[in-house]
Amino acid sequence: MLRLKGGRLYDPARAIDGQVGDLYLEGGRIVAPPGPDGVIDGEIDVTGRVVMAGAIDLHTHIGGGKMNIARMLLPEDHRGDPVPARDLHGGGHLHGGCGHAAPATWTTGYRYAEMGYTACFEPAMLPANARHAHLEMGDIPMVDKGAYAMLGNDDFFLRLLSSGADQRLINDYVGWTLDATQAMAIKVVNPGGISAFKFNARNLDLDEAHPHYGVTPRQVIQALARAVHDLGVAHPLHVHASNLGIPGNADTTLATMAAAEGLPIHLTHIQFHSYGTEGARRFSSEAERIAAAINRMANVSADVGQILFGQTVTASGDTMGQHRNHRHASPDKWVVMDIECDAGCGVVPFRYRDKNFVNALQWAIGLELFLRVSDPWRLFLTTDHPNGAPFTSYPHLIRLLMDRDFRNGKLDEIHAEAAAHSQLRSLAREYSLYEIAIMTRAGPARSLGLADRGHLGPGAWADVVVYRDEADREAMFAKPEYVFKDGELIVRDGRVVKVVNGALHALKPEYDKAIEQPLREYFDRYMTVKMEHMKIGDDEICACGASKLIPHKCGRQA
């Protein structure tokens, strides 16, 4: 048994806010303090250190096909950021890698662990691409993984919806998709819009009928949110709303929240959906209205998708949005493609500039959202890696949230007109360590239904991070002193010391398997593979590289 002695614990799941205490690790788990007879064979004095559970990123594009396309599109991203291989003292080695915005799989895992992250969720796994996504995630070491299956633009679902199929049939299809693709949640991207793009629509509003199927994005959201709820999936329907990036889209975003009609709904990268049309440039912040709505509606959660300045690449299933953005590509090359009629994919490299009015205001809007949403349990820290910025900028983002002087200093550097337009300077809030622990640990774990992750209570898996309490929060969060994964020390002073594989979280929903009959016929008639070949068996998960499969039961039954 290992004792971490005397640290200041930040464990929001148990309402522990910086109290000093000892933590005991045994058999990969956190255990209750042993009695006088307990054998403690290791002890690390962490007096004065900040101790949190391993961080969880619930929206980061680390697999699922788009990253490979980004890698192929941007060899310069790799050339410019090489990572040499390294031998480990305890045996084994770290693979060499490369990449700033679209790093190699190994490099992705090492970098996440070196910041104290122990789980990452890929939010955009196309069912047709699921096997690739699992292979790619399996290749990412150090952290546990999971993926959200994308539905809502696929022909089978849109046919069901437009034919007025019974909700139970839709539930079965959603359940089957979760099961067949080993997913952890359901995501919908530009509901119906990706499909409409293929019918030459370049826009699809929430209540606009799809040019072919006649259904509206609102109907898509409602049917999927209902299915996710009825199946008892812990994470709400994960929604990339319509009209991403378009000035004035805040109205759509608010209407999308309302469209859930009280059912749980998660709005992702909400920064990109909080824009107004005021001012001479017809681009303004609607962060206040969006944040007020989130504060008011307990069924709504969101992640921010903060942008940070510099070179990155945007990678999205939203072909409609990415086609619209391609003229901003920097460097000037881009990919927009269909994938198996299932959804789509668009990869557009992008450089956010602090002296550009729009980019500067996007930066301020994201921060405004962070500071205006009062409940950190329902707001998660993301940059929508790599869309807003690579995940390696999280420590910088945490400092922006925790340090008002630092934030206002940066505000002085951005496009002056954008700074003047934003109310950011007037927002005095500074995040506490407790709130950071909520939005990066306890919150995501609760939202995903991970009962034994994201907290430090007895019985939890021992994913534990120890930070030095430095005034410079960026330096502090960039380089934890210790990171434990399932009780093993994997990072020391911000450097990997042991390589582990990480497991895969997947849901095991209950649904009527009779759905396989129409599905099998559909696949035979229209698709390029057989239905049976789409399905990913439990035994494939470890073959894909994960250390193990962690199955999760669904909570509610309809």
Partner 1 sequence: MTTLTLREGVPGRVDLAGILPDTLAGLAPAAISTLSLEHDGRRVALGELFEVEGGDPDTLLIQCDRACLDNLGAGLGRGRLIVEGPAGDGAGRAMSGGQLLLGGDAGDFLASAMRGGTIHVAGNVGDWLGAAPIGERTGMAGGVVAVAGSVGARAGDRMRRGLILIRGQAGEYCGSRLLAGTLVVAGGCGALAGFGLRRGTLVLGRPPLHLPATFNDAGPVELTYLGLLGRHAEGILPSVLPTGTRVRRYVGDLAFGGKGEVLVPA
Residue 490 contacts residue 496 (beta carbons within 8 Å): yes
Judged by beta carbon distances under 5 to 8 A according to partner kind, the member of Zn ion, partner 1, none in contact with residue 512 is none
In the complex, residue closest to Zn ion by CB: 384
User: Interaction with partner 1 in 465-484: which residues (CB under 8 A)?
Assistant: none
Among 325-333, 412-420, 491-499, 504-512, the segment contacting partner 1 (CB under 8 A)? 325-333
Q: Which does 202 bind (CB under 5 to 8 A by kind): partner 1, Zn ion, none?
A: none
User: Per rule CB under 8 A, is residue 214 in the interface with partner 1?
Assistant: no
In contact, 174 and 224? CB cutoff 8 Å: yes
Beta-carbon neighbour count of residue 404 at 10 Å? 17
Least Å distance, CB 294 to partner 1, is: 40
Other beta carbons within 10 angstroms of residue 212's beta carbon come to 15
Give the distance, in angstroms, between the CA of residue 201 and the centroid of all CA atoms in the same chain. Answer: 28
Q: Which does 86 bind (CB under 5 to 8 A by kind): partner 1, Zn ion, none?
A: partner 1
Given the rule CB under 8 A, which of 83-91, 204-212, 294-302, 375-383 is the region that contacts partner 1?
83-91
Q: For residues 151-190, which are near partner 1 according to CB under 8 A? A: none
Which of partner 1, Zn ion, none sits in contact with 469, Cβ below 5 to 8 A by type?
none
CA nearest to 157, candidates 5, 284, 343: 343
- State which of residues 13, 74, 371, 500 lies at the interface with partner 1 (CB under 8 A): 74
Which of partner 1, Zn ion, none does residue 384 bind to, with CB < 5 to 8 Å depending on kind?
Zn ion
- In single-letter form, the type of residue at position 461 comes to W
Q: Decide which of partner 1, Zn ion, none touches 76; Cβ closer than 5 to 8 Å per partner kind.
A: partner 1
Which residue number, 73 or 270, has a Cβ lying nearer to partner 1?
Answer: 73
- Which partner in partner 1, Zn ion, none is near 91 (CB below 5 to 8 A by kind)? none
Contacting residues toward Zn ion, per CB under 5 A: 384
88 touches partner 1 (CB under 8 A): no
Q: Under the criterion CB under 8 A, does residue 28 sit at the interface with partner 1?
A: no
3-state secondary structure string across 197-211: HHCCCCCCCCCCCCC
Tell me whether residue 85 or residue 416 sits nearer to partner 1 (CB atom).
Answer: 85
Residue 533 interacting with partner 1 (CB under 8 A): no
Q: Where are the alpha helices (DSSP H) in 184-261?
A: 193-198, 217-231, 250-259
- CA-to-CA distance for 190 and 204, rounded, in angstroms? 8
Residue selected from 27, 84, 90, 91 as contacting partner 1 according to rule CB under 8 A: 84
The residues pairing with 8 across neighbouring beta strands, listed in sequence order, are 20, 50
**Which residues have C-beta within 8 Å of that of residue 443, sequence separation ≥ 6?**
12, 376, 377, 378, 379, 380, 454
In the complex, the smallest distance separating the C-beta of residue 265 from Zn ion, rounded to whole angstroms, is 16
Please state, in angstroms and rounded to a whole number, the distance separating the CA atoms of residues 237 and 152.
11
Residue with smaller CB distance to partner 1, 93 or 520: 93
By the rule CB under 8 A, 82 interacts with partner 1: yes
Selected from 19, 79, 199, 416, the binder of partner 1 by CB under 8 A is 79
Between strands 50-53 and 464-467, the pairing is antiparallel
Alpha carbons 413 and 340: distance in angstroms, whole number = 45
Which of 20, 40, 85, 88 binds partner 1 (CB under 8 A)? It is 85
Nearest approach, Cβ of residue 85 and partner 1 (Å): 5
CB of 61 to Zn ion, least distance (A): 6
Considering the complex, state which of residue 77 and residue 384 has its C-beta at the smaller distance from Zn ion: 384
CB of residue 350 to partner 1, shortest distance in Å:
16
Torsion of CA 127, 133, 135, 137, to 10 degrees: -140
The residue among 228, 72, 245, 68 whose CA lies nearest residue 149 is: 228
Q: Are strands 29-31 and 16-26 parallel, antiparallel or unpaired?
A: antiparallel
75 binds partner 1 (CB under 8 A): yes
Given Zn ion, partner 1, none, residue 85, with its beta carbon under 5 to 8 Å by kind, binds partner 1
Q: Which of 90/164 has CB closer to partner 1?
A: 90
Do residues 258 and 287 touch, judged by C-beta distance below 8 A? Answer: no
Return the number of other C-beta atoms located less than 10 Å from residue 527's C-beta: 18
User: Which letter, b or e, does each residue of 442-478 get, where b requires 16 or more Cβ atoms within 10 Å of its Cβ?
Assistant: bbbbbbbbbeebbbbeeebbbbbbbbeeeeebbebbb
Tell me which of partner 1, Zn ion, none is bound by residue 520, counting a contact when its beta carbon lies within the kind-specific cut-off of 5 to 8 angstroms: none
Nearer to Zn ion, 57 or 286 (CB): 57
Any contact of residue 331 with partner 1 (CB under 8 A)?
yes
Q: At its nearest, how many Å lie between partner 1 and the CB of residue 98?
A: 10
Is the bond preceding 331 in cis, omega lying within 30 degrees of 0?
yes
Choose the one of partner 1, Zn ion, none that binds residue 75, judging by a C-beta under 5 to 8 angstroms depending on kind. Answer: partner 1
How many residues lie near partner 1 (CB under 8 A)? 14
- 107 phi, psi to nearest 5 deg: -60, -40
Whole-Å CA distances, 429 to 365, 412, 420: 15, 18, 19
CB of 70 to Zn ion, least distance (A): 13
Place of tokens 């790619």: 136
At closest approach, how far in Å is the CB of 75 from partner 1?
A: 3
Terminal Cα distance for the chain, rounded: 43
Please report, as residue ranges, which positions from 333 to 352 form the binding site for partner 1 (by CB under 8 A): 333
Asked if 90 and 453 count as a contact pair (C-beta separation under 8 A), the reply is no
Residue selected from 73, 128, 150, 448 as contacting partner 1 according to rule CB under 8 A: 73
Residue (79 or 548) nearer to partner 1, CB: 79
Cβ(230)–Cβ(558) under 8 Å? Answer: yes
Cβ proximity to partner 1, 70 vs 550, nearer residue? 70
Give whichever of 85 and 514 is closer to partner 1, judged by the CB atom: 85
Interface with partner 1 by CB under 8 A: which residues? Answer: 73-76, 79, 82, 84-87, 96, 331-333
